[in-house]
């Protein structure tokens, strides 16, 4: 898996991702503690609202980024996003009102909505071979997991020496280091369309902004991915929003135990990310992603037992075990996601597809974050567990119904074919040539509604 680090460009980009994520992890811990200082037992509600604002920024901005990212210098786009995030982190320690937290979180995550889809599209061009790209996906998942494991441990160590406000400084340093590493990388040009004569879509900015979403709605496997995103969001929201409430209120532990709980989640996810590359060489994505989603519903049942049980010393290790299981199941779903998108979208639509995945998946978090916070605060954690667990179960069953088999059409040699029934502005026709019978272009076989009879 680590062989992909021999590529200098990918090595620099991966290092940028890791360092930025460590800084983000420090901010996550600090933001939870800041919310607890401001709202006490209602910290889950404050944090849930802040994270809902984060998701709203992702949902609104990522599609627009997908529409213009191929037409802007990608290095400048990512560096600018990092500098904006560093500037916001500089101001976070100065806030003393809840509304100020909300405004800064929106600005911070708007910049992230620019950086992440652009970064994902760049990696496709840096490592075009599927085997290498699969390992890059696992490395990316590993980066998130290391952040979940290392950042809380680092935060716990720092909190023994300094107040949590200083953790935001670490966030700023991380984003500045990320910008420097992106500057040092030599980025390849975007992959050329396999069509015969590249041309911009006729539908204009609106058509480009919605191209990825329309692709998701057209391809059965990508529709299933939307349901899988919802299952993951239900579990992730429970962990992110209510960890501080479980640790401080339910278990009565000091603030230094909050990073430990978050670290358990990261450890479970990291173990799976290390194992999956070999597994995915032998089994299809569906055989990993659907069981992972169903496992989330089972883990929610375990969390319900921990939440409703009377006081007991066993609940602390049990909570860590549940958090680790959540991390493992989420990694089973998330790690192969990029492979699925890559196979389901032709090269000219991949940037839009990744932007749509970023936006639509975070739309799921936009639902689950406030639900985890507000319901947990108003009705109690048991009701939050029941609601989010029901969402995870329903979403995983829906995904299984939508994704009935692994597509066989999504691989093989490129084929020249004609679309006779698509309008000229359709995003799939980017670069296609007009012929007497329709629009002609060439790409690998796709398992979507546009190519039912290749």
The more confident residue out of 334 and 345 is 334
Residue 337 has φ and ψ, to the nearest 5°, of -55, -45
Q: Three-class SS of residue 414? A: strand
Beta bridge partners of 419: 439
The two counts, helices (H) then strands (E), for the chain are 15, 3
Give burial (CB, 10 Å; 0-12/13-18/19+) of 312.
exposed
What pLDDT score does 228 carry? 94
Output the pLDDT for position 198. Answer: 38
Cβ partners under 8 Å of residue 228, min gap 6:
289, 290, 293, 333, 395, 396, 399
Helix, strand or coil, per DSSP, at residue 405: coil
Q: What six digits make up the tokens of 445?
A: 């076989």
How many Å apart are CA 393 and CA 294, to the nearest integer?
Answer: 7
Average pLDDT on 308-332 reads: 86
Q: What is the predicted pLDDT for the residue at 105?
A: 77
What's the sign of the alpha-carbon dihedral 300, 306, 308, 309? positive
Lowest-confidence segment of 159-173, 192-206, 309-323, 335-349 by average pLDDT: 192-206
Most confident of 57-61, 160-164, 190-194: 57-61
**Confidence at residue 399, expressed as pLDDT on a 0 to 100 scale:** 93
CA-nearest of 453, 454, 447 to 218 is: 447
For 438, the enclosing helix (H) or strand (E) is strand 438-444
Residue linked to tokens 């002609």: 440
- Return the structure tokens found at 375: 């319901």
What are the C-alpha distances in Å from 182 to residues 9, 12, 77, 185, 325? 9, 7, 10, 5, 34
Is CATH 1.20.1250.20 what the domain over 2-402 is classified as, yes or no?
yes
Say whether pLDDT at 77 is over 60. Answer: yes
- CA gap 410, 408 in Å, rounded: 6
The conformation of residue 442, written as its DSSP 8-state character, comes to E
Query: Is the separation of the CB atoms in 334 and 143 below 8 Å?
Result: no
End-to-end CA distance of the chain: 34
- CA dist list (Å): 389 to 245, 302, 303, 332, 368: 18, 10, 9, 17, 11
Going along 186-293, which residue ranges are E strands? Answer: none
- Per-residue pLDDT tens over the stretch 167-213: 778 788 888 998 998 888 877 766 544 433 334 444 455 555 566 67
Q: How far apart are CA 251 and CA 258, in angstroms?
A: 11
What are the domain boundaries of the chain? 2-402
Report the run of H or E that residue 180 belongs to, with start and end. helix 167-184
d(CA 269, CA 326): 8
In what order do the strands lie in the sheet containing 414-419? 414-419, 438-444, 433-435
CB 141 within 8 A of CB 333: no
Percentage of the chain exceeding pLDDT 70: 70
Determine what percent of the chain is predicted with pLDDT higher than 90.
12
């Amino acid at each position: 898996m680590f062989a992909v680090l021999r590529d200098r460009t990918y090595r620099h980009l991966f290092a940028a991702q890791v360092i930025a994520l460590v800084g983000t992890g420090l901010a996550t811990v600090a933001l939870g503690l800041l919310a607890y200082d401001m709202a006490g037992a209602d910290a889950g509600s404050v944090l849930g609202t802040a994270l809902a604002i984060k998701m709203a920024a992702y949902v609104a901005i990522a599609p627009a980024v997908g529409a213009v990212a191929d037409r802007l210098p990608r290095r400048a786009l990512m560096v600018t996003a990092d500098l904006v995030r560093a500037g916001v982190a500089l101001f976070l320690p100065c806030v003393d009102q809840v509304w100020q937290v909300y405004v800064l979180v929106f600005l911070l995550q708007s910049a992230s909505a620019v950086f992440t889809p652009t970064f994902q599209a760049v990696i496709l061009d840096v490592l075009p071979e599927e085997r290498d790209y699969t390992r890059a996906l696992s490395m990316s998942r590993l980066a998130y997991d290391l952040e979940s494991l290392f950042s809380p441990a680092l935060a716990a160590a720092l909190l023994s020496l300094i107040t949590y406000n200083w953790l935001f400084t670490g966030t700023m340093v991380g984003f500045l280091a990320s910008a420097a590493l992106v500057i040092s990388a030599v980025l390849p040009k975007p992959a050329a369309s396999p069509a015969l004569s590249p041309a911009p879509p006729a539908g204009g900015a609106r058509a480009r902004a919605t191209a990825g979403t329309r692709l998701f709605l057209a391809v059965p496997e990508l529709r299933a991915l939307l349901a899988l995103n919802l299952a993951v969001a239900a579990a992730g929201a429970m962990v992110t929003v209510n960890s501080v409430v479980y640790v401080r209120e339910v278990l009565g532990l000091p603030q230094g135990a909050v990073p430990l709980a978050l670290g358990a989640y990261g450890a479970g996810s990291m173990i799976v990310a290390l194992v999956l590359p070999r597994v995915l060489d032998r089994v299809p994505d569906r055989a990993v992603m659907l069981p992972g989603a169903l496992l989330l519903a089972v883990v929610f049942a375990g969390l319900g037992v921990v939440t409703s049980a009377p006081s007991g010393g066993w609940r602390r290790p049990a909570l860590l075990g549940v958090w680790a299981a959540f991390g493992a199941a989420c990694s089973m779903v998330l790690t192969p996601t990029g492979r699925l998108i890559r196979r389901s979208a032709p090269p000219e639509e991949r940037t839009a597809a990744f932007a749509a995945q970023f936006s639509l998946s975070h739309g799921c978090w936009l639902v689950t974050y406030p639900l985890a916070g507000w319901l947990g605060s108003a009705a109690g954690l048991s009701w939050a567990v029941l609601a989010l667990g029901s969402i995870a179960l329903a979403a995983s069953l829906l995904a299984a119904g939508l994704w009935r088999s692994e597509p066989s059409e999504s691989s093989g040699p490129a084929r020249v074919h004609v679309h006779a029934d698509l309008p000229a502005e359709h995003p799939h026709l980017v670069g296609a040539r007009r012929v007497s019978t329709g629009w002609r272009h060439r790409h690998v076989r796709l398992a979507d509604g546009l190519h039912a009879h290749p």
